Structure 1
Amino acid sequence: MNAAQTNSRRWWTLSPLFGSLVFIFLYTMAAAFYPGGSQADAHAKGFSWMHNYWCNLLSGKALNGEINAGRPFAYTAMVVAALMLLGFLTVAAMGFDFSKRSKIIVLACGLLSLLPLPFLNSSYHDAVANASPFFGLVAMLFVYAGLYKSGWKSLFLFGLFNLVLVAWNNYLWHFTTLYWLPLVQKITFASFLLWICLVTVRLYRHPKGQA
């Protein structure tokens, strides 16, 4: 069986790439239908890429007091993102030459990181925002290990850069003004999605972490 035939049977490994594109579309639609209001200006019209958070799109009411028509798109986007991330971890667990125990840890931590997400727009927001990334980080550390052992240095370094972005988000949230946090949050989203897509394509072309 040649490489083309092998890849044709492994099309499912590209599911995180397709999921990322669907998430971006739904995120854009949710932002387009968001009535207005942000932390900087409660009376602003529409969604501000500079001042609005992802959580604002999940609220039933916008910060300007109007019904948030973008909420259904945002919740659908969250479900798609959760499935996409779980799919990515599955592809990575199967794509790299991990032991059976390592695969179980990756998938279990990935699932645990996603279970709290439905409570993101609730009174448990802070607890979810702290617990979910912890389990996600454990799963991602295995992915980083797979990248490093495979010699995929550029993707490994890109992954470390994303961890820096996550740390920056947490620093802004806990220790400084929140003015820049919404923008940094979006940059982090975009960077992680790009990284996931690049790793996915690389694993599709080189299963088992082959060079």
Structure 2
Amino acid sequence: MSKSSYNSRPKYILIPLFGMGLFVVLYILASLNYPGGSWNDVNHKGFSFWNNYLCDLLDKYAINGALNSGRYYARAALGVLCLSLLFLWLNLHKLVTESINTKIMTYSGVLALLTTFFLASNTHDIIVRISGVFGVVAILSLTVEQFKMHYIKLGLLGVTCIVIFLINYYVYETGFYLKCLPIIQKFTFAAFMVWFSILNAMLYCKSDKV
């Protein structure tokens, strides 16, 4: 790979990668400013990595009843993440062969991300279910395309993400091993962000300056 070829690639393609990094930074700030309380211990001081959900940081009031000053960071993080992944999803068709399935992948992914914007509203459970349905369709469609393009390892990573997501959703809906859900949720986020980061890197490597 020549240096000129590397320099010719548009850097804006890496917006999702930078957005995911900023999401992590903002969520750390949100957790540091969270007053306290979790579903296992209302009186716990500050944010508990093991017992608090990421969504707890979005609420106006913390679980202990105090005003949550960390919500501004968390809501900014959510907006940054959704916008970054929206940009990524609108460009993922460039990595696969155009087909009806590709269109389904794009539209369902966009709808999932647009729905997720409203996660900080008072309709949290409904938003999770709606965005979850669109998200599963989008992810399954993308994974199918990856296997069709012989991206076997990437496809297997996609399958892993889907399985983890479904476990997360099953626990959320049934309450089975609910105490483990905060950790499962964070592990789910981490797995998807690794997958998306690889996809963004691939998109960047295949991009050319127009």
Give the TM-score of the pair, scaled to structure 1: 0.88
1:38 aligns with 2:38: yes
1:153 positional shift: 1.1
Q: Which position in structure 1 is the counterpart of 2:72?
A: 72
> In structure 2, how many angstroms separate the alpha carbons of the residues matched to 1:8 and 1:194?
25
> In structure 2, how many angstroms separate the alpha carbons of the residues matched to 1:116 and 1:178?
25
1:7 positional shift: 6.2
Q: Which position in structure 2 is the counterpart of 1:88?
A: 88
Q: Which position in structure 2 is the counterpart of 1:196?
A: 196
How do 1:133-172 and structure 2 match up within 5 A? 133-172=132-171
Deviation per residue, 1:115-163 (Å, 9 max, x gap): 3324324442221111101112222223212321222211110111011
Native 8 Å contact 1:42 1:63 kept in 2: yes
How do 1:173-192 and structure 2 match up within 5 A? 173-175=172-174, 176-192=176-192
> In structure 2, how many angstroms separate the alpha carbons of the residues matched to 1:196 and 1:61?
32
Q: Which position in structure 1 is the counterpart of 2:16?
A: 16
Give the TM-score of the pair, scaled to structure 2: 0.89
Deviation per residue, 1:84-106 (Å, 9 max, x gap): 2211212212232224x555433
Inter-CA distance 192–7: structure 2 relative to 1 (3 Å threshold): farther
Secondary structure at the counterpart of residue 28 of structure 1? helix
1:25 aligns with 2:25: yes
Deviation per residue, 1:169-196 (Å, 9 max, x gap): 1121122141000110000001100110
Secondary structure at the counterpart of residue 37 of structure 2? coil
Deviation per residue, 1:41-70 (Å, 9 max, x gap): 001011011100111101111111111111
Identity of aligned residues (%): 37
1:108 positional shift: 2.2
The CA RMSD over aligned residues, in Å, is 2.2
Equivalenced residue count is 207
Inter-CA distance 55–167: structure 2 relative to 1 (3 Å threshold): same
Inter-CA distance 15–96: structure 2 relative to 1 (3 Å threshold): farther
